[in-house]
Amino acid sequence: MVCWDVGANVGFYTLLLAELVGAAGSSHSNLFVATLNCCGGM
C-alpha cells in the first residue's frame, strides 16, 4: 500500500500512515501545496 500526505506540515500524519502501512508499504509527504498557499502562489 502507498499513502500520500498532500500538504504535509510537520509530518504527523505521514508518520501515522507509515505505522499503518507497515514495512511492506510506503508513505510520502508533499509540502508543495502548503508552500504555495502560504507564500501567495510564488
The string of pLDDT tens digits covering residues 2-42 is 888 777 777 788 888 888 888 888 887 776 655 555 565 55
Structural domains in the chain (count): 1
Look at residue 38 in the predicted model and tell me its pLDDT: 59
Bridge partners for 28 per DSSP: 4
**pTM of the predicted model, to two decimals?**
0.56
What's the rounded Cα separation, in Å, for the pair 38 and 17? 24
Place of cell 510506503: 26
Look at residue 19 in the predicted model and tell me its pLDDT: 87
Look at residue 35 in the predicted model and tell me its pLDDT: 53
Q: Which domain, by its residues, includes 22? A: 2-38
What's the rounded Cα separation, in Å, for the pair 31 and 14? 11
